[in-house]
Amino acid sequence: MRRIMLMLLLVLVCVVSAKDFKPMLGGGLGIESSDKTYFVFRGEGMLPVYKAFHARATFLHFKTGENTTRFTLCSGMSVDAIYMFPMDKMTPYGLASFNFTSSSTKFEGYSSTSTSTDFTILIGAGLNYPLKNAPVIPFGELGIGIWSRSTGNGTSSSDSETILKLTFGVRINLGK
What is the per-residue DSSP string for 102-146? EEEEEPTTSS-EEEEEEEEEEEEEEEE-PPTT-SEEEEEEEEEEE
* 140: Cβ contacts below 8 Å, ≥ 6 apart: 126, 127, 129, 166, 167, 168
pLDDT in tens, the chain (176 residues): 556 655 655 655 555 454 566 788 999 999 988 888 889 898 988 888 888 899 988 888 788 888 777 777 765 567 889 999 989 889 999 999 887 776 666 666 666 666 777 778 899 999 999 888 888 999 999 999 987 877 776 566 777 888 899 999 999 988 76
- As beta bridge partners, residue 47 has 55
d(CA 86, CA 134): 18
Neighbours of 22 (CB within 10 A): 13
**Model pLDDT, residue 116:** 72
The pLDDT, as a whole number, for residue 105 is 64
What SS3 state is found at 56?
strand
Residues 6+ positions from 135 with CB-CB distance below 8 Å? 172, 173, 174
pLDDT at 70: 72
Give the pLDDT confidence score for residue 144 in this predicted structure: 94
Ordered by start, the domain boundaries in the chain are: 2-173
Q: What pLDDT is attached to residue 109?
A: 66
Task: Round to whole Å and give the CA distance between 89 and 86.
Answer: 9
Summarize pLDDT for 87-130 with one digit per residue, the tens: 988 999 999 988 777 666 666 666 666 677 777 889 999 999 98
C-alpha to C-alpha distances, 44 to 28, 61, 83, 170, nearest whole angstrom: 9, 9, 16, 10
Rounded to whole angstroms, the Cα distance separating 162 from 146 reads 5
What does the DSSP 8-state code read for residue 59?
Answer: E
Tell which CATH architecture fits domain 2-173. Beta Barrel (2.40)
Predicted TM-score of the model (pTM): 0.74
pLDDT tens profile 79-92:
889 999 989 889 99
Amino acid 26: pLDDT: 93
Q: Which amino acid is at 9?
A: L
